[in-house]
Structure 1
């Protein structure tokens, strides 16, 4: 009898805790990233909001290039148009968030990013690991 009451009391106390934990995990599960492919290079853009950034961070090991776009000091920005060229790969795409992740063959690349009519360019090599480049306006 006492054991039964104790189990019931424990269940009443723990049920809301488990429910809150479940509900807290749902937004992260709901974020789905749409992978695009140009030529043979898969890529994904986005990164606005905590859940989308977490989803992209989890998929980062599948990619070897991470481009970030910011305006001013550190404010992330969306809407840049990106052109990546090298090693037979050409990606031309608008970026719907502050990040672009791509999986490229090893080699040298030229990247041009445009935002509000202002172009920024960088060249870099993609080798082992993740190459990171930041574009600031």
Structure 2
């Protein structure tokens, strides 16, 4: 697991065949993560539902499992944006925030970009 360094720009982490980066705390870093998103096969965004809009939230745990159930990523996102490059295939993405668990499935294909949004209650 990556250890964050205060004030440092987000850096990529490699776990097996997966490469990922997380961050987006603060407007500059959020803009940087948004501009990088299209270079990754998977973009995961975490938000809290508030009225009248949604707010980004950080520090959620993310587990990505392949079609056999093997965990290929187990990380804590350092911001509301989590970007990953994974081998082609079907994946189950589980996000955990304040003891709540949510699951989504995604199909990764070379040359495509998938975006998942996890919305949490206030």
TM class by shorter chain equals 0.7 to 0.9
Distance 1:57 1:68 in 2: 10
Distance 1:49 1:122 in 2: 26
Which residue, out of 28, 35, 38, partners 1:51? 28
SS at structure 1 position matched to 2:31: helix
Please state how far the C-alpha of 1:93 moved relative to its aligned partner.
0.2
Which residue, out of 64, 69, 83, partners 2:41? 64
Q: Give the 4+ runs in structure 1 shifted more than 4 A.
A: none
- Which structure has more RCO (C-alpha within 8 Å, separation ≥ 6)? 2
Over aligned residues, Cα RMSD in angstroms? Answer: 1.8
More helix by share: 1
Distance 1:89 1:105 in 2: 13
More strand by share: 2
Closer, same or farther in 2 for the Cα pair 1:113/1:95, shift >3 Å?
Answer: same
From the CA coordinates, give the structure whose radius of gyration is larger: 1
Structure 2 gaps of 5+ residues are 1-6
2:83 equivalent to 1:101: yes
1:31–1:55 CA contact under 8 A, matched in 2 = no
Which residue, out of 86, 104, 109, partners 1:122? 104
Please state how far the C-alpha of 1:89 moved relative to its aligned partner.
6.0
1:29-60 CA-partner distances (Å, limit 9, x unpaired): x9732111111211000112221122223322
Aligned residue for 1:38?
15
2:79 equivalent to 1:79: no
Q: Please give the TM-score of this superposition, normalised by the length of structure 2.
A: 0.80
Q: Please give the TM-score of this superposition, normalised by the length of structure 1.
A: 0.72
